[in-house]
Amino acid sequence: MSVALAVLRKLVGMAVTLLVTSFLVFSSLYLAPGDPVSFLVQGRSPSPAELVSIRKEFGFDQPFLVRYWHWLDAVLHGDFGRSYLFHESVGAVIWARLPASLLLVGVSTLLIAVVGIGAGAVSALRHGTRTDKSVLLLVTVGAAVPSFAAAVLLRSVFGVRLGWFPTIGNGTGFLDELHHVAMPAVALSVTFMALVTRVTRASMLDELGREHVEVALSRGVPRGSVLRRHVFRNALGPIVTVSGLLVSGMLVSTAIVETAFGMSGIGSLLVQCVDELDFQVVQALVLLVVAVFVVVNTLVDLLHPLIDPRIAAGGGAR
Protein backbone atom coordinates (compact mmCIF):
# COMPACT_ATOMS: atom_id res chain seq x y z
CA MET A 1 0.00 0.00 0.00
CA SER A 2 2.83 2.39 0.87
CA VAL A 3 4.52 1.62 -2.45
CA ALA A 4 1.33 2.35 -4.39
CA LEU A 5 0.89 5.60 -2.45
CA ALA A 6 4.48 6.64 -3.20
CA VAL A 7 3.97 5.93 -6.91
CA LEU A 8 0.70 7.88 -6.88
CA ARG A 9 2.39 10.86 -5.21
CA LYS A 10 5.14 10.91 -7.83
CA LEU A 11 2.64 10.71 -10.68
CA VAL A 12 0.55 13.52 -9.18
CA GLY A 13 3.71 15.58 -8.71
CA MET A 14 4.64 14.96 -12.33
CA ALA A 15 1.19 16.08 -13.50
CA VAL A 16 1.31 19.25 -11.39
CA THR A 17 4.82 20.04 -12.65
CA LEU A 18 3.69 19.65 -16.26
CA LEU A 19 0.65 21.85 -15.64
CA VAL A 20 2.76 24.63 -14.10
CA THR A 21 5.27 24.26 -16.92
CA SER A 22 2.55 24.61 -19.53
CA PHE A 23 1.40 27.86 -17.92
CA LEU A 24 4.93 29.26 -17.84
CA VAL A 25 5.58 28.22 -21.44
CA PHE A 26 2.37 29.86 -22.63
CA SER A 27 3.11 32.99 -20.58
CA SER A 28 6.51 33.31 -22.25
CA LEU A 29 4.67 34.42 -25.40
CA TYR A 30 3.86 37.69 -23.64
CA LEU A 31 7.39 38.12 -22.27
CA ALA A 32 9.25 37.49 -25.53
CA PRO A 33 10.27 40.52 -27.61
CA GLY A 34 8.25 41.19 -30.73
CA ASP A 35 4.64 40.72 -31.69
CA PRO A 36 3.40 37.58 -33.49
CA VAL A 37 1.05 39.74 -35.53
CA SER A 38 3.99 41.73 -36.92
CA PHE A 39 5.48 38.48 -38.19
CA LEU A 40 2.23 37.42 -39.79
CA VAL A 41 1.96 40.69 -41.73
CA GLN A 42 5.66 41.18 -42.50
CA GLY A 43 6.26 42.83 -45.83
CA ARG A 44 2.78 44.37 -45.84
CA SER A 45 1.11 47.44 -44.38
CA PRO A 46 -2.30 46.18 -43.26
CA SER A 47 -5.12 48.49 -42.37
CA PRO A 48 -6.38 48.69 -38.77
CA ALA A 49 -9.38 46.58 -39.80
CA GLU A 50 -7.08 43.86 -41.16
CA LEU A 51 -5.04 43.87 -37.93
CA VAL A 52 -8.22 43.41 -35.92
CA SER A 53 -9.26 40.55 -38.19
CA ILE A 54 -5.87 38.83 -37.83
CA ARG A 55 -5.89 39.18 -34.06
CA LYS A 56 -9.38 37.70 -33.94
CA GLU A 57 -8.45 34.84 -36.29
CA PHE A 58 -5.51 33.75 -34.13
CA GLY A 59 -7.22 34.51 -30.81
CA PHE A 60 -5.00 37.44 -29.80
CA ASP A 61 -8.08 39.48 -28.95
CA GLN A 62 -9.11 37.14 -26.11
CA PRO A 63 -8.12 37.50 -22.42
CA PHE A 64 -4.94 35.80 -21.31
CA LEU A 65 -6.54 33.04 -19.20
CA VAL A 66 -9.10 32.25 -21.88
CA ARG A 67 -6.36 31.89 -24.47
CA TYR A 68 -4.35 29.68 -22.11
CA TRP A 69 -7.33 27.42 -21.44
CA HIS A 70 -8.10 27.03 -25.14
CA TRP A 71 -4.43 26.35 -25.89
CA LEU A 72 -4.10 23.80 -23.07
CA ASP A 73 -7.30 22.03 -24.13
CA ALA A 74 -6.00 21.81 -27.71
CA VAL A 75 -2.58 20.54 -26.55
CA LEU A 76 -4.23 17.79 -24.49
CA HIS A 77 -5.99 16.72 -27.69
CA GLY A 78 -2.72 16.73 -29.64
CA ASP A 79 -3.26 20.05 -31.40
CA PHE A 80 -0.37 22.51 -30.94
CA GLY A 81 -1.71 25.05 -33.39
CA ARG A 82 -0.48 26.16 -36.79
CA SER A 83 3.04 27.30 -37.60
CA TYR A 84 3.28 30.91 -38.74
CA LEU A 85 6.51 30.15 -40.62
CA PHE A 86 5.76 26.83 -42.33
CA HIS A 87 1.99 27.34 -42.78
CA GLU A 88 1.13 23.85 -41.55
CA SER A 89 0.28 22.22 -38.25
CA VAL A 90 2.95 22.42 -35.56
CA GLY A 91 2.66 18.68 -34.96
CA ALA A 92 3.51 17.94 -38.60
CA VAL A 93 6.49 20.32 -38.52
CA ILE A 94 7.91 18.72 -35.36
CA TRP A 95 7.16 15.16 -36.46
CA ALA A 96 9.12 15.68 -39.68
CA ARG A 97 12.22 16.77 -37.72
CA LEU A 98 11.89 14.44 -34.71
CA PRO A 99 13.44 11.21 -36.13
CA ALA A 100 16.79 12.89 -36.79
CA SER A 101 16.99 14.23 -33.23
CA LEU A 102 15.88 10.91 -31.73
CA LEU A 103 18.62 9.11 -33.66
CA LEU A 104 21.17 11.67 -32.47
CA VAL A 105 20.07 11.37 -28.84
CA GLY A 106 19.86 7.57 -29.10
CA VAL A 107 23.43 7.18 -30.41
CA SER A 108 24.68 9.69 -27.84
CA THR A 109 22.94 7.79 -25.04
CA LEU A 110 24.58 4.56 -26.20
CA LEU A 111 27.99 6.25 -26.15
CA ILE A 112 27.35 7.62 -22.66
CA ALA A 113 26.28 4.23 -21.35
CA VAL A 114 29.07 2.19 -22.93
CA VAL A 115 31.99 4.60 -22.73
CA GLY A 116 31.00 6.56 -19.61
CA ILE A 117 30.05 3.62 -17.39
CA GLY A 118 32.75 1.38 -18.85
CA ALA A 119 35.56 3.91 -18.35
CA GLY A 120 34.35 4.71 -14.84
CA ALA A 121 34.25 1.04 -13.88
CA VAL A 122 37.74 0.39 -15.28
CA SER A 123 39.09 3.46 -13.49
CA ALA A 124 37.61 2.33 -10.16
CA LEU A 125 38.92 -1.22 -10.51
CA ARG A 126 42.38 0.12 -11.43
CA HIS A 127 42.36 2.75 -8.70
CA GLY A 128 45.72 4.47 -8.26
CA THR A 129 47.27 2.99 -11.41
CA ARG A 130 48.31 4.70 -14.64
CA THR A 131 45.03 3.60 -16.21
CA ASP A 132 43.09 5.38 -13.46
CA LYS A 133 45.14 8.55 -13.83
CA SER A 134 44.76 8.50 -17.63
CA VAL A 135 40.98 8.15 -17.33
CA LEU A 136 40.85 11.02 -14.83
CA LEU A 137 42.87 13.21 -17.20
CA LEU A 138 40.56 12.45 -20.11
CA VAL A 139 37.53 13.07 -17.90
CA THR A 140 38.86 16.46 -16.83
CA VAL A 141 39.48 17.47 -20.45
CA GLY A 142 36.15 16.08 -21.65
CA ALA A 143 34.15 17.87 -18.96
CA ALA A 144 35.77 21.18 -19.94
CA VAL A 145 35.03 20.90 -23.67
CA PRO A 146 31.65 22.42 -24.65
CA SER A 147 29.59 20.82 -27.41
CA PHE A 148 30.20 23.58 -29.96
CA ALA A 149 33.98 23.39 -29.47
CA ALA A 150 33.90 19.60 -29.85
CA ALA A 151 31.78 20.01 -33.00
CA VAL A 152 34.25 22.44 -34.58
CA LEU A 153 37.22 20.22 -33.71
CA LEU A 154 35.59 17.03 -35.01
CA ARG A 155 34.49 18.70 -38.26
CA SER A 156 37.96 20.11 -38.83
CA VAL A 157 39.89 16.90 -38.16
CA PHE A 158 37.65 13.97 -39.13
CA GLY A 159 35.44 15.74 -41.65
CA VAL A 160 37.66 18.18 -43.55
CA ARG A 161 41.22 16.90 -43.12
CA LEU A 162 40.69 13.14 -43.03
CA GLY A 163 37.37 13.02 -44.85
CA TRP A 164 36.13 10.06 -42.82
CA PHE A 165 32.72 11.51 -41.98
CA PRO A 166 30.32 13.93 -43.70
CA THR A 167 30.21 17.36 -42.13
CA ILE A 168 26.68 18.46 -42.97
CA GLY A 169 23.19 17.04 -43.45
CA ASN A 170 21.16 14.11 -42.12
CA GLY A 171 21.89 11.46 -44.72
CA THR A 172 19.48 9.14 -46.56
CA GLY A 173 18.87 5.56 -45.46
CA PHE A 174 19.66 4.13 -42.04
CA LEU A 175 23.35 3.36 -42.59
CA ASP A 176 24.00 6.74 -44.21
CA GLU A 177 22.13 8.45 -41.36
CA LEU A 178 24.35 6.63 -38.84
CA HIS A 179 27.41 7.77 -40.81
CA HIS A 180 26.18 11.38 -40.70
CA VAL A 181 25.21 11.27 -37.02
CA ALA A 182 28.51 9.77 -35.76
CA MET A 183 30.39 13.05 -35.25
CA PRO A 184 27.39 15.00 -33.93
CA ALA A 185 26.75 12.21 -31.39
CA VAL A 186 30.33 12.35 -30.13
CA ALA A 187 30.21 16.15 -29.92
CA LEU A 188 26.91 16.01 -28.04
CA SER A 189 27.95 13.28 -25.60
CA VAL A 190 31.57 14.13 -24.79
CA THR A 191 30.75 16.25 -21.72
CA PHE A 192 28.05 13.85 -20.57
CA MET A 193 30.41 10.87 -20.92
CA ALA A 194 32.93 12.62 -18.70
CA LEU A 195 30.34 13.30 -16.00
CA VAL A 196 28.98 9.73 -16.06
CA THR A 197 32.53 8.37 -15.91
CA ARG A 198 33.25 10.46 -12.84
CA VAL A 199 30.03 9.43 -11.08
CA THR A 200 30.55 5.75 -11.94
CA ARG A 201 34.10 5.81 -10.62
CA ALA A 202 33.13 7.52 -7.36
CA SER A 203 30.12 5.25 -6.79
CA MET A 204 32.08 2.07 -7.43
CA LEU A 205 34.98 3.17 -5.24
CA ASP A 206 32.49 3.80 -2.45
CA GLU A 207 31.06 0.30 -2.81
CA LEU A 208 34.50 -1.33 -3.10
CA GLY A 209 35.37 0.13 0.31
CA ARG A 210 32.34 -1.42 2.02
CA GLU A 211 33.00 -3.91 4.79
CA HIS A 212 30.78 -6.64 3.34
CA VAL A 213 32.72 -6.53 0.05
CA GLU A 214 36.05 -6.95 1.84
CA VAL A 215 34.63 -9.81 3.93
CA ALA A 216 33.28 -11.59 0.86
CA LEU A 217 36.65 -11.33 -0.90
CA SER A 218 38.53 -12.52 2.21
CA ARG A 219 36.30 -15.60 2.40
CA GLY A 220 37.23 -16.65 -1.11
CA VAL A 221 34.08 -15.57 -2.97
CA PRO A 222 35.02 -15.19 -6.65
CA ARG A 223 35.97 -11.59 -7.39
CA GLY A 224 33.76 -11.44 -10.48
CA SER A 225 30.73 -12.54 -8.49
CA VAL A 226 31.41 -9.96 -5.77
CA LEU A 227 31.85 -7.18 -8.32
CA ARG A 228 28.70 -8.12 -10.18
CA ARG A 229 26.36 -8.84 -7.26
CA HIS A 230 27.58 -6.44 -4.56
CA VAL A 231 29.66 -3.66 -6.11
CA PHE A 232 28.22 -2.80 -9.51
CA ARG A 233 24.59 -3.51 -8.57
CA ASN A 234 24.73 -1.30 -5.48
CA ALA A 235 26.63 1.40 -7.36
CA LEU A 236 24.07 1.44 -10.15
CA GLY A 237 21.58 3.71 -8.34
CA PRO A 238 23.55 6.98 -8.51
CA ILE A 239 24.73 6.11 -12.02
CA VAL A 240 21.18 5.64 -13.33
CA THR A 241 19.97 8.80 -11.56
CA VAL A 242 22.68 11.01 -13.06
CA SER A 243 22.41 9.36 -16.47
CA GLY A 244 18.66 9.95 -16.48
CA LEU A 245 19.15 13.63 -15.68
CA LEU A 246 21.74 14.05 -18.41
CA VAL A 247 19.95 12.11 -21.13
CA SER A 248 16.59 13.76 -20.46
CA GLY A 249 18.19 17.18 -20.79
CA MET A 250 20.09 16.26 -23.94
CA LEU A 251 17.36 17.49 -26.28
CA VAL A 252 18.27 21.06 -25.34
CA SER A 253 21.90 20.55 -26.34
CA THR A 254 20.90 19.22 -29.76
CA ALA A 255 20.24 22.82 -30.84
CA ILE A 256 23.97 23.62 -30.76
CA VAL A 257 25.15 20.39 -32.36
CA GLU A 258 22.48 20.23 -35.07
CA THR A 259 23.18 23.82 -36.06
CA ALA A 260 26.94 23.17 -36.19
CA PHE A 261 26.52 20.12 -38.43
CA GLY A 262 23.65 21.45 -40.52
CA MET A 263 21.27 18.74 -39.35
CA SER A 264 17.52 19.09 -39.77
CA GLY A 265 16.25 18.18 -36.29
CA ILE A 266 14.15 19.74 -33.57
CA GLY A 267 17.18 21.50 -32.10
CA SER A 268 17.92 23.44 -35.26
CA LEU A 269 14.15 23.92 -35.71
CA LEU A 270 13.98 25.60 -32.30
CA VAL A 271 16.77 28.01 -33.22
CA GLN A 272 15.11 28.83 -36.54
CA CYS A 273 11.69 29.42 -35.01
CA VAL A 274 13.09 31.62 -32.25
CA ASP A 275 14.81 33.77 -34.86
CA GLU A 276 11.63 33.97 -36.94
CA LEU A 277 9.28 34.56 -33.96
CA ASP A 278 7.25 31.43 -34.74
CA PHE A 279 5.86 31.30 -31.20
CA GLN A 280 3.54 28.34 -31.78
CA VAL A 281 6.41 26.02 -32.68
CA VAL A 282 8.66 27.42 -29.94
CA GLN A 283 5.98 26.82 -27.31
CA ALA A 284 5.44 23.25 -28.48
CA LEU A 285 9.16 22.44 -28.56
CA VAL A 286 9.85 23.91 -25.11
CA LEU A 287 6.88 22.03 -23.68
CA LEU A 288 8.08 18.82 -25.34
CA VAL A 289 11.60 19.17 -23.94
CA VAL A 290 10.37 19.92 -20.42
CA ALA A 291 7.83 17.08 -20.59
CA VAL A 292 10.55 14.60 -21.60
CA PHE A 293 12.77 15.85 -18.78
CA VAL A 294 10.01 15.53 -16.15
CA VAL A 295 8.73 12.15 -17.35
CA VAL A 296 12.18 10.56 -17.62
CA ASN A 297 13.20 11.74 -14.16
CA THR A 298 9.93 10.53 -12.68
CA LEU A 299 10.57 7.12 -14.23
CA VAL A 300 14.08 7.13 -12.80
CA ASP A 301 12.66 7.90 -9.34
CA LEU A 302 10.21 5.02 -9.70
CA LEU A 303 12.87 2.59 -10.91
CA HIS A 304 15.44 3.57 -8.30
CA PRO A 305 14.00 1.37 -5.51
CA LEU A 306 13.93 -1.57 -7.94
CA ILE A 307 17.58 -1.04 -8.81
CA ASP A 308 18.66 -0.55 -5.18
CA PRO A 309 16.34 -2.45 -2.78
CA ARG A 310 18.00 -0.71 0.18
CA ILE A 311 16.06 2.47 -0.72
CA ALA A 312 12.72 0.66 -0.57
CA ALA A 313 13.71 -1.01 2.68
CA GLY A 314 14.74 2.32 4.15
CA GLY A 315 11.48 3.92 3.07
CA GLY A 316 9.50 1.07 4.63
CA ALA A 317 11.42 1.37 7.88
CA ARG A 318 10.76 5.10 8.03
pLDDT given for residue 309 in this prediction: 56
pLDDT given for residue 228 in this prediction: 74
Contact (CB, 8 A) for 246 and 112: yes
| Torsional sign, CA 223, 226, 228, 232 | negative
CA distances from 64 to 23, 40, 75 (A): 11, 20, 16
pLDDT given for residue 313 in this prediction: 47
Q: What is the pTM of this model?
A: 0.79
Contact (CB, 8 A) for 230 and 222: no
pLDDT given for residue 92 in this prediction: 87
pLDDT given for residue 306 in this prediction: 67
> Residue type at 91?
G
- If phi > 0 it is left, if psi is from -120 to 50 it is alpha, else beta; for residue 44 that is beta
CA angle 241/131/123 to nearest 5° reads 20
Contact (CB, 8 A) for 288 and 217: no
pLDDT along the chain (318 residues), means of 10: 72 85 80 60 66 68 80 85 81 87 89 88 86 88 84 86 83 83 88 88 81 73 74 78 78 82 84 80 85 82 66 46
